[in-house]
Amino acid sequence: GQQVMQIPQYQHVQEGEDFTTYCNSSTTLSNIQWYKQRPGGHPVFLIQLVKSGEVKKQKRLTFQFGEAKKNSSLHITATQTTDVGTYFCAVSGSARQLTFGSGTQLTVLP
């Protein structure tokens, strides 16, 4: 099935600093989804990107899909303690099953 590399694995930032996580694939993706999992919780859908070069924003979160549709990023501006959690990208396989990246665990230091 589809595989996607996600980096970094961990990120510690001071509150107010920015944060970025990246997903990369060796093959062209039809779409990419992003999820957030709070500590002790379950993954929650954030957004889906479909078009080449697409950029979507949700308040302080900016999501980008690469022009070649092989990479994507999630950028958080001015992190807050409420941003703590693990952020996953996920890509669709041929049978519509979702394969998740390894996740980036974000810690925000107050």
Partner 1 sequence: DAGVIQSPRHEVTEMGQEVTLRCKPISGHNSLFWYRQTMMRGLELLIYFNNNVPIDDSGMPEDRFSAKMPNASFSTLKIQPSEPRDSAVYFCASNPGQGNSPLHFGNGTRLTVT
Chain contacts with partner 1 (rule: CB under 8 A): 1, 30-31, 33, 35, 41-45, 48, 88, 90, 92-93, 95-103
Q: 85 or 101: whose CB is closer to partner 1?
A: 101
Q: 1 or 8: whose CB is closer to partner 1?
A: 1
The rounded distance, in Å, linking the Cα atoms of 97 and 79 is 32
Q: 63 or 88: whose CB is closer to partner 1?
A: 88
The rounded distance, in Å, linking the Cα atoms of 52 and 59 is 22
Shortest Å, Cβ 15 to partner 1: 26
Q: 1 or 16: whose CB is closer to partner 1?
A: 1
Shortest Å, Cβ 83 to partner 1: 19
Shortest Å, Cβ 41 to partner 1: 8
Question: Hey, how many other C-beta atoms are within 10 angstroms of the C-beta on 35?
Answer: 20
